[in-house]
Amino acid sequence: IVLIEKKDYIKNPKPSGYRSLHLIVQVPIFLQKNKKMVNVEVQFRTIAMDFWASLEHKLRYKKDIPADQAQQLQEELLACATQSAQLDNRMQEIRNQLVSRADKGNQS
């Protein structure tokens, strides 16, 4: 597998609040008589951000939402993305502390 491109929307969230890590990688596909390298995009995101992306996609491509309501929903989604990222950070910190404790316990 060869890394072609990396888009880090975790360190640099999109203005909409979207956060994820996108990697474009080249992977081998084995055919009957040869091997072909194919580009594939892999997206890493939390369950909450995956749900967020699904809602944002529906909002963006749904044609019958009035503009004022769409704007209100976009603002709400931005707030949700911010809260989701804060929760992810808090939970990661808890995990780090638990792993650190376990590591210290194994060294005794």
Whether 22 and 40 have beta carbons less than 8 Å apart is answered as no
Strand 21-30 and strand 2-8: the pairing is antiparallel
Whether 43 and 85 have beta carbons less than 8 Å apart is answered as no
Domain ranges of the chain: 2-107
Asked whether residue 108 carries a pLDDT value surpassing 90, the answer given is: no
Which residues carry out catalysis? 41
pLDDT per residue over 44-68, tens digit each?
999 999 999 999 999 988 878 998 9
Mean pLDDT for the stretch of residues 56-83: 92
Alpha-helix residue ranges (DSSP H) falling in the chain: 47-61, 67-107
pLDDT per residue over 15-34, tens digit each?
999 999 999 999 999 999 99
The token pair at 56 is 């944002």
Q: Give Rg (Cα) of the chain.
A: 20
**What is the pTM assigned to this prediction?**
0.76
The token pair at 61 is 């491509």
